[in-house]
Amino acid sequence: MGIPGQALFVLLPLYVIDIGGTPAAAAAVIGWRGFGMLIMGLPAGWMASYLGYRSTMLIASATILLAFLLYGLSANLLTLYGIAFLHGCGSSTFLLGRMTCITSVFEANERGRVISVVAGGLRLSTLLGPLLGGILVNRFDFSLAFSASAGMMALGLLFTYIYTQERRTISTVLRVSAVPEFIGVHKSIFYTAGSAAVAFMFLRAARNILIPLVGVHLSLDATTIGFIVSMSALVDLLLVYPTGVMMDRWGRRITAMPSAILFATSLGLIAFSNSYEILLLFAILAGVANGLSTGIVMTLGADNAPENGRGEFLGFWRVLTDLGNVSGPMLISGILFIGSLQFASIVVGLIGLSGSIFVHRAVCTEPEKDI
User: What is the per-residue pLDDT across 190-204, written as a single tens digit (0 to 9) for each?
Assistant: 777 777 788 888 888
Q: Which of 8-17, 77-86, 353-362 bottoms out in mean pLDDT, i.e. has the lowest?
A: 353-362
- pLDDT band, very low/low/confident/very high, at 284 (cuts 50, 70, 90): very high
Q: Tell me the Cα Rg of the chain.
A: 19
Contacts by 115-118, CB closer than 8 A, 24 or more apart: 115/244, 115/295, 115/298, 115/299, 115/302, 116/240, 116/241, 116/243, 116/244, 116/245, 116/247, 116/294, 116/295, 117/240, 117/241, 117/244, 118/295, 118/298
pLDDT of residue 334: 87
**For residue 102, is pLDDT > 50?**
yes
User: What is the per-residue pLDDT across 215-258, written as a single tens digit (0 to 9) for each?
Assistant: 988 988 888 888 898 888 888 888 877 877 777 777 667 777 88
pLDDT of residue 296: 75
Task: Tell me which residue of 113, 47, 95 sits closest to 249, measured CA to CA.
Answer: 113
Identify the structural domains of the chain with CATH numbers, from first to last.
2-163+180-362 (1.20.1250.20)
